[in-house]
Structure 1
């Protein structure tokens, strides 16, 4: 006859496992909500030392939901080119102000926007490039209409870079600078969960990815900048820090290999996932200025 031994202990173990499972799911859901939480805020008045025009753009009526994009525009010398600046995750247009100043000195017209769900732009959730790409498309449409005879470049940082690559902006920019861009949503989420929850945080990545269609209406396969990069037919300058963990140097190398030519790569020595312009302003400005000069003014 089979006897069940220590039944109370076995039941207690099952209960403990169930409780732990529920706790993990709850933590994953809360972490997912935190990662998607919008980063909207007032950006205040524009800098007094720049001739800034404040504007808002609206998405066309035929898109799924209305989107309002807020930003600043500084007009440069005619015929010198236009640069669109796209900030990183949980930041706003002000993150790009130091870049604005050296570009304005060089004669470029410059547009800065708040990506959807950031700064003063509308948006219910951060979507890791999905809805943010619509903000990029709205900005590009406006620039093409407002500066019909100018070549347009885009400089995107992290989420801003991914949003550009995931967008369907047409025509393609004449030059693109991609800073610290994640290759896939899987890597991006795993690194951020590790940062927030410690080394084991990445174990919650599958749970977060499962939430994407429910929370954001998009699946992980549509949030892979490395895949879209191959379809971008613009000269591209890819850069990232040598100490950056999201993306790593190896991931940045993979992005570079996926990009079409002409292309350039700069691994910024000693930089982590930080403002690469602030890390080495002199070299950053020299390299980016040469790249923009080549494709916006010298004819590539």
Structure 2
């Protein structure tokens, strides 16, 4: 009787240990998948970009920075029309900004479009979501100022490009800044993207992804918050975003606009998701963005 009683009492304990083992294995699996996902997210996006497009009077340039060389294309403009640095989004390269660059150049602007850190033909070992990209942005701005000291300087930064600009800690700000679909905080950017794919599981997966940042980048998540730097940017700012953007929501775009110092302008694009706003609405883009640059960069 005693042996039988012990055996029956042991069964719930055995089942409990089994459930604990299953739960532990599940947590290990989730952590492993999250680490693999983090590796994919931070994976460099380097590849040949090719020569300057035919029919465009531009030149290939190589600019040194604290994080290695950034490479891009530069085209001179007309004196007094200003210069614009163009910064693409994540997993793209300078070619994503080529339609803007050529349109601006035709209007007399000098243009410099670069591959961000770890993108295209630029150096880099991982995507850092702003901090390492900022070094190349800072050097590109200095390069333009040295080449065109008499010109007013503007920047168009899309998504990651805008984050890199805000994290560049410029002593001397540009004369005009356009931020397109730039995330406020890395925590929100990650959670929005994970939630889009995994729904409620983002509550588990997002913290696991964000927790990898100190190991991969030597930075905590709260050090990658472009919105915290925007208020100190002493430059005219146009903040743009899509009304249907699920990665950088309209609420985030409006929050960025709210913290920016005057003079500032907000453009929420009806029907646009997390897309190239110039390709989505070229005429409206030229009226809003090019009009903004004209007012602040071109000398009358």
Tell me the TM-score normalized by structure 2: 0.94
Higher Rg: 2
1:206 paired with 2:212, answer no
Q: Which moved more, 1:46-55 or 1:119-128?
A: 46-55
Cα deviation digits, residues 17-72 of structure 1 (max 9, x gap)? 1100101110111111111001111111221121111011112xxx4xx4110010
Q: Which residue of 1 aligns with 2:61?
A: 55
Distance 2:194 2:241 in 1: 20
- Structure 1 unpaired stretches of 5+: none
User: What's the C-alpha RMSD, in Å, of the aligned pairs?
Assistant: 1.6
Q: Which residue of 1 aligns with 2:229?
A: 228
Q: Which residue of 2 aligns with 1:45?
A: 51
1:237 paired with 2:243, answer no
Q: Which residue of 2 aligns with 1:34?
A: 40
Q: 1:7 aligns with which of 5, 13, 36?
A: 13
Distance 1:86 1:263 in 2: 20
- Structure 1 residues 94-243: aligned runs within 5 Å: 94-197=95-198, 199-201=200-202, 203-243=204-244
Are the counterparts in 2 of residues 189 and 202 from structure 1 also a CA contact under 8 Å? no
- Structure 2 unpaired stretches of 5+: none
Are the counterparts in 2 of residues 136 and 169 from structure 1 also a CA contact under 8 Å? no
Distance 1:186 1:168 in 2: 21
Are the counterparts in 1 of residues 44 and 118 from structure 2 also a CA contact under 8 Å? yes
Distance 1:192 1:8, change over 3 A: same
Distance 2:198 2:113 in 1: 33
Distance 1:193 1:202 in 2: 9
Are the counterparts in 2 of residues 193 and 202 from structure 1 also a CA contact under 8 Å? no
Distance 1:119 1:210, change over 3 A: same
Distance 1:275 1:169, change over 3 A: same
Q: Which residue of 2 aligns with 1:271?
A: 272
Compute the displacement of 1:247 (Å). 1.1
Distance 2:47 2:199 in 1: 28
Tell me the TM-score normalized by structure 1: 0.94
Are the counterparts in 2 of residues 86 and 113 from structure 1 also a CA contact under 8 Å? yes
Compute the displacement of 1:202 (Å). 5.0
Cα deviation digits, residues 147-171 of structure 1 (max 9, x gap)? 1111000000000011101112232
Q: Which residue of 1 aligns with 2:262?
A: 261
Are the counterparts in 2 of residues 158 and 179 from structure 1 also a CA contact under 8 Å? yes
Size of the aligned set, in residue pairs, is 294
Compute the displacement of 1:241 (Å). 0.4
